[in-house]
Amino acid sequence: MAVAGPAQQAHAQYGVGGSSTNAPSEEQLQRCDEYGIARAECTENAILAKERLIYAKDNPFGSGTPMLSFDGSQTWMFVGVLGAIFGGVAAAFFVKGRGTTAP
């Protein structure tokens, strides 16, 4: 009969800031209070997620946003370039198809 020894608990490799086993630092608790994060959920990951949301709200025209928004001319320029490319390819196939004859 085999007897198992005490098992060592494995932790993720995100460091102390994101670990749920260690208590948050005083600086982290202050930032959680500032952002309205509950103390029980106060981790470095929660703080970073909240800061990411705040940054996204403060900078609504971040990466990729102007291409998807219809209030700027960049979207129409993007659609025009794509239309010219695909239209040119379609025209080339049309011309090439009209030039061949059946034997």
User: Given pLDDT bands bounded at 50, 70 and 90, which one contains residue 22?
Assistant: confident
| pLDDT value of position 14 | 52
Q: What is the pLDDT of residues 75-100, one digit of tens each?
A: 778 889 999 999 999 999 998 888 76
Q: So where are the chain's domains?
A: 13-59, 64-103
Mean pLDDT for all residues in the chain: 77
User: Given pLDDT bands bounded at 50, 70 and 90, which one contains residue 40?
Assistant: confident
- pLDDT above 80 for 73: no
Q: What DSSP assignment string belongs to the chain?
A: -----PPPPP--SS-STT-SSSPPPHHHHHHHHHHT--GGG--HHHHHHHHHHHHHHH-SS-TTHHHH-TTSHHHHHHHHHHHHHHHHHHHHHHHHHHH----
